[in-house]
Structure 1
């Protein structure tokens, strides 16, 4: 059983079922008089605290549901938040934005402190359309449905019914027959729910396209670039795709050849692409996992270890595989409690170890922001910055993997696998970004066309060195198991951009571990109101995804991997 089953991990001081009282508090904020710049700052502070109070309750309800998607009580609470509370917040949110921007005193606000927030809120006002509220509610209903389906998806394994995530862990088995059986079982499980996934994605694409059209855009892709206030262009993304295909994919192919040779197989098949060159899972129980990660964090920085122990002691970790638990992993900031919660659903495997370290990077970032007094305001949560600290945490702990892999050769293999993951983060998420560009600029596509496009892009990038003869249909459905395509549209390329920054920090770490760790903490706690480039500079790296940077990074990763042969 989980260590945290009975622990209440979030603040739930507001009764969100009482919509009348909730609306009264929102109206009170809206009616408040503002007669000076000081009044406006006080109003902004009160508004932030109210949004955080409501937000934390909603975050907690969502986590409750993700932890047990079969629980109808938790589902009903979460559904109420999405269908009743969220529309009210959207309606009043835009009124708050207008109140701020219509105040003559907003021009007197310190641009360094409030400039980004004002920019984001202007965009929200410009893009808000009343008719999109109902579309957003339906969008969230479909995402909930996705999590229920994936959370309840089971596979017959060795005579027992196991969750989808458990069988995913078997892909790391050193026994090739086990890996192939797991890969085919996962494909079969996806095929059982494929009609539902197609119907959901068809509707999501239609809904999102309509949102964009309602807001005056030609397509959802263009709408999202504006909504996210991205500090780079659509063409910059296409150029990044091309640079990775030119410089990273060939190195990826060479690495695949090395792995194929070490595995001693005639063909490099899909079930050979996981972390299967190691002799089994690095832990058997989740207590072992937490004990080992605790030691790794402590060897890197005492602050990292202190935060992890605080989370473990206060019910802020849920790591075990359970039936009915939603897929994937995430870290959620809890702004009122000033805590972070880590959710993971991965069976014992190398990936489960790395996933926990990755999410701990997000948690440390959150705690440092809370301690700096920055909170977790929506306009600050730019994925290009957030993912820098999750990827960098993985790389700062690269040389501590011996805690789990005590054999010297296995330790080297584990480090190589983590660097292979870094390469994959330059390729896989980027291909997912390209897939979404196509999805939303071709909104009238059919399910068959969608599968074909995914297969085409996958063969160009992550599966470029993989022999998929006879498995094309199975590979073409892999997108159905990716939560980002359903719940977090256009949250993909940020992983690749931030990995470039994290690898720059690894270069610093290899020369001076203390300096790199200090830079990590400095950047993770720095002012989030500045540009992404400014946050990266505070971390000692550059926000750069140009072709020269991609080429240089590819050569660096290849050279480090070569050292570990």
Structure 2
């Protein structure tokens, strides 16, 4: 069914609450694991339907934030879903306390029960008003970003549409475009501080109400960190500082030399070559058609997947006046349909959508018929490994998108991926500082960010073009910091795993891709590090793994 034809109806949470309470009674009355699992399968059907309707409302709101109907629907779910999700946790407690838990774990999987335990520690009825307030604050931030109207050469652009100008091969153009974007954020500076300060206080209050010292541990539980915790993340970041940052700095200096610059400023970071960064050839539609050819040639299954996405209009990637910024993949279980949202802007980022977001979507397509709903609850570092690895596995087809500059793209792709990891770790460490010290003022947070810039990006210099970002405010354009606390480290962990696939590809492409398919199908049925090692990769938390990957990247280039 085509996306626009999918029927939508608002979920009646009063009715769903009544039905869930009935299921809970029947679950408790069941006399065997088989009977309890039969009730649980009814829960699956209800949960899938709720997710589908909420996703339809959310995606249609993303596509047009000026649509009053879906704006109201999103507000409705922001208000009503927290109470229902709290009841869903109460239902999950019945599985945790079941006298047949051992048998149920064999059916559903051990990670699912660990996830339920973390969810149980993450919510209670007492914090429902706070969660509603948190949702409203995040929506306020996202609406503000979507409302950006930046005047440029007589036209009005949103933030995403300004990206091509910020990556222009003409240094004066990217400097002026950068000033425009910086000025927009500066104009919203007071409100950005107010929203984030309110979010930090809100999340801290939630943590206190649940018995935590601060939000940090609660944030880990909300992210369902089921196989690693803060000590492992800190160890990972420590290795990145020691072994990865020097590699990234070498790459930045190589870029400076290629561009013929005495000094690389922030406005230059998005340009890989003197003739400019590689851009997709042809129109937006040509990019989609190139993606179709690529996936058909990659494998039979990927070809089926991409045809399905195009035929049912599940790739909503063309720019729109009132679209939200950014990109994401989500899923509508009732229709077995992944969905990709993005904003094409004529840069290599368009191809990243076709590879990265479609990597997420392909994994959803592969596991659409998995009868165990909990397997879809994949942790984010697992999900991002699916997507970031697909970026590399599609390398042999980059000529379809970039013509004779395909090799330039692949070179810049590796450089950008290497350079991203220090930034991602910086985002993560910043959030640890903020939530460990919720009493910090907005000015103190910005000073903390500036201090981290010196550690993770020592070459960084904003120059005169970015008076707002240059004062420690660049993090305020990072949606994840506002909307998804502690999410960003998952990208870094996943990128190191994706690099292992990239290195493996050079030795045996087919074996690497077969491993990737198996890893993707396993979904959330296992724990991350264990699934990596079962599929021929090494855990990024193990001592020596990061050094080994750095060595492999040097050999790769």
TM-score range, shorter chain: over 0.9
Deviations 1:206-229 (A, max 9, x none): 010111111111111122223424
Aligned twin of 2:406: 411
Aligned twin of 1:154: 149
Matched, 1:381 2:378: yes
Q: Find 2:368's aligned residue among 361, 367, 370.
A: 370
Aligned twin of 1:392: 389
The alpha-carbon deviation at position 374 of structure 1 amounts to 4.3
Structure 2: runs of 5+ lacking an equivalent = none
Aligned twin of 1:263: 259
How has the CA–CA distance of structure 1 residues 178 and 502 changed in structure 2, closer, same or farther, with 3 Å as cutoff? same
> In 2, are the aligned partners of 1:82 and 1:140 still within 8 Å (CA)?
yes
Aligned twin of 1:465: 459
Counterpart mapping for 1:92-491 below 5 A: 92-111=87-106, 113-227=108-222, 228-277=224-273, 278=276, 281-375=279-373, 380-407=377-404, 410-461=405-456, 463-470=457-464, 471=466, 473-475=468-470, 476-491=472-487
Report the TM-score when normalising by structure 2: 0.94
Q: Distance in 1 between matches of 2:301 and 2:40?
A: 31
SS of corresponding position for 2:440? coil
* Count of aligned pairs: 550
User: 4+ residue runs of structure 1 moved beyond 6 angstroms?
Assistant: none
Matched, 1:36 2:29: no
Deviations 1:23-74 (A, max 9, x none): 3322322332322211111111111221111111101111111111122211
> In 2, are the aligned partners of 1:298 and 1:305 still within 8 Å (CA)?
yes
SS of corresponding position for 1:540? coil
How has the CA–CA distance of structure 1 residues 253 and 127 changed in structure 2, closer, same or farther, with 3 Å as cutoff? closer
Q: Distance in 2 between matches of 1:285 and 1:556?
A: 36
Q: Distance in 2 between matches of 1:11 and 1:118?
A: 33
SS of corresponding position for 1:87? helix
How has the CA–CA distance of structure 1 residues 242 and 442 changed in structure 2, closer, same or farther, with 3 Å as cutoff? same
The alpha-carbon deviation at position 376 of structure 1 amounts to 6.0
The alpha-carbon deviation at position 539 of structure 1 amounts to 3.5
Q: Cα RMSD between the aligned structures?
A: 2.1
> In 1, are the aligned partners of 2:121 and 2:221 still within 8 Å (CA)?
no
Deviations 1:142-172 (A, max 9, x none): 1111111111111111111111110023222
Q: Distance in 2 between matches of 1:150 and 1:259?
A: 30
Report the TM-score when normalising by structure 1: 0.92
How has the CA–CA distance of structure 1 residues 7 and 382 changed in structure 2, closer, same or farther, with 3 Å as cutoff? closer
> In 2, are the aligned partners of 1:171 and 1:276 still within 8 Å (CA)?
no
Aligned twin of 1:21: 15
SS of corresponding position for 1:404? helix
Q: Distance in 2 between matches of 1:455 and 1:345?
A: 30
How has the CA–CA distance of structure 1 residues 65 and 251 changed in structure 2, closer, same or farther, with 3 Å as cutoff? same
Q: Distance in 1 between matches of 2:114 and 2:541?
A: 24
> In 2, are the aligned partners of 1:275 and 1:350 still within 8 Å (CA)?
no
Structure 1: runs of 5+ lacking an equivalent = none
The alpha-carbon deviation at position 200 of structure 1 amounts to 0.6
Deviations 1:53-108 (A, max 9, x none): 11111011111111111222110011111102x03312321331233334322243
Deviations 1:499-521 (A, max 9, x none): 11111111221122222211111
The alpha-carbon deviation at position 294 of structure 1 amounts to 1.8
How has the CA–CA distance of structure 1 residues 248 and 20 changed in structure 2, closer, same or farther, with 3 Å as cutoff? closer
Q: Which of 534-543 and 167-176 deviates more?
A: 534-543
Aligned twin of 1:68: 64
Q: Distance in 2 between matches of 1:235 and 1:103?
A: 32
SS of corresponding position for 1:331? strand
Counterpart mapping for 1:542-557 below 5 A: 542-557=538-553
